[in-house]
Amino acid sequence: MPVSSRPCTISLNRIHLAGAIGQALLALTLGLTLGCATANAKSISQRAADDEVTHMSHDDPAMRRAMAKAKATLDDFLLRAAQPASGTHSYALKVAISDGRNTEYFWFGDFTGKGKQFSGILNNEPRLIKGLRSGQTLSFKREQIVDWTYMDDKQHRMFGNFTACALLTREPAEEAAQFQKQYGLQCD
């Protein structure tokens, strides 16, 4: 599979989210950067645990569907996040940030939004975009949101994170199934 000549990074970063009880760790979070192709020898679970990167083309149909699904369900997610049900936590938005040359995707926790303007705490270490740092509060627009996620302890399940499901389509079936089971992620 050809790899783009543009620099590319897809983080398998953990999401660190501040909550009422302190920091919550969401072990599965997958980020992506446009213009890349998949190429890793370790399993996706190993790459996530090691906070490594993976790559996926911006033209990939599974990724396009994932982002479209996240955008189509964003309003429902925002309503849930505004009044979280008991046993749910780690509400986060995945946001595209560009510097004019590169686009990198980050998870944001402790977010607020009104209309088309949002702000939140950056929960990943930037790999391509300079001048940003994990823990920094940033503003972003609704159209930059490409995914969302939260955890439900009662159901032992992660909701959303559609972009992770897209990345799993490039993994061996056994590894993808193990990853979904490990994190309670359901992909259709």
Residue 8 domain flag: no
Q: Is the pLDDT of residue 4 over 50?
A: no
Residue 2 domain flag: no
Token output for 130 = 């300079």
Q: What is the tens place of the pLDDT at every residue in 18-65?
A: 332 222 223 333 344 333 434 456 777 777 666 666 667 767 899 999
| Residue-number span of the structural domain to which 178 is assigned | 15-183
Query: With contact defined as beta carbons under 8 Å apart, do 129 and 104 qualify?
Result: yes
Residue 54: predicted pLDDT: 66
Residue 111 domain flag: yes
Q: What is the mean pLDDT of the chain?
A: 80
Residue 10 domain flag: no
Residue 4 domain flag: no
Residue 36 domain flag: yes
Give me the number of domains the chain comprises: 1
Residue 6: predicted pLDDT: 36
Residue 9 domain flag: no
Query: With contact defined as beta carbons under 8 Å apart, do 74 and 145 qualify?
Result: yes
Q: Is the pLDDT of residue 10 over 80?
A: no
Which residues contact residue 5 at a Cβ distance below 8 angstroms, ignoring those fewer than 6 apart?
none
Strand partners, 159: 150
Residue 24: predicted pLDDT: 29
Query: With contact defined as beta carbons under 8 Å apart, do 63 and 32 qualify?
Result: yes
Q: What is the tens place of the pLDDT at every residue in 76-120?
A: 999 999 999 999 999 999 999 999 988 889 999 999 999 999 999
Residue 79: predicted pLDDT: 97
Residue 30 domain flag: yes
Residue 150: predicted pLDDT: 98
